[in-house]
Chain A
């Protein structure tokens, strides 16, 4: 299964990329995905430590780390917004 992760603002700048396509053999929770990302790149520790970062799954805010992610899901990591 595939999960797309989109990165914005300082997260995108820090990671030097706007998205990732994660390929997995089985379903995974958000918590497990976070651990998976940290094991690949310690920069994610800083991202996940920041309480102001919001998580959106398929355009809806996600506040549950135990939420199981499914094939085709689009996850986004959003720092505080500054439009207008």
Chain B
């Protein structure tokens, strides 16, 4: 289950959608907008998320299918929001479910790490006066992804 949406989502409702008696483990990752400083050292007001939706959906589906197969998951749910988000708001949700915890935990980490490097979303900091400042990809995220590629391939 993959969704790219503007509006917020409810954790319990999303959990219910993939809940099943055959699962013994669910792992959640919830990413939120944190308070941060801009390059000019001012507090950001929020973030703006841009997306190439058709491409992002196909990229997320590929990551989801890899995770389902590699970690023998019963389900993998990914929700990513786009548009303008205030500090503290939910950005992204990943839920993985499996019989045992180790699979769901590792798969959940793989999905969010992959999403940060391989899916067509772009983040901007929102500053005063409606200005936007681009957020750059982090080297540490790229390095971590290289390790995942060895595991998944």
Contact = CB atoms under 8 A, between A and B. Distances in A.
B115 interface: yes
B52 A78 contact: yes
B34 to A, nearest CB: 12
Contacts of A10: 134
Contacts, number: 61
Contacts of B83: none
Interface string A60-84: 0000000000000000101111111
Contact of B80 (A59, A80, A82, A83): A83
A8 B112 contact: no
B121 A82 contact: yes
A81 B121 contact: yes
Contacts of B106: none
Contacts of B118: 81
Nearest to A54: B120
B54 A83 contact: no
Contact of A84 (B52, B54, B55, B91): B91
Contact of A76 (B52, B80, B91): B52
B126 to A, nearest CB: 14
A6 B52 contact: yes
A79 B134 CA distance: 11
Secondary structure of the B contact surface, majority rule:
mixed
A11 B119 CA distance: 17
Contacts of A9: 50, 122, 134
B136 A80 contact: yes
Could you say which interface size class chain A belongs to? 10 to 19
Nearest to B123: A82
A83 B55 CA distance: 13
Contacts of A83: 49, 51, 56, 80, 92, 115-116, 119-123
16 contacts: A6-B52, A8-B120, A9-B50, A56-B52, A56-B55, A76-B55, A81-B118, A81-B137, A82-B135, A82-B136, A83-B80, A83-B116, A83-B123, A84-B112, A84-B116, A84-B121
Interface of B: 31, 49-52, 54-56, 58, 80, 91-92, 112, 115-123, 132, 134-137
Closest 10 CB pairs of A and B: A83-B121, A9-B122, A84-B116, A80-B137, A82-B123, A82-B135, A84-B115, A59-B55, A84-B92, A10-B134
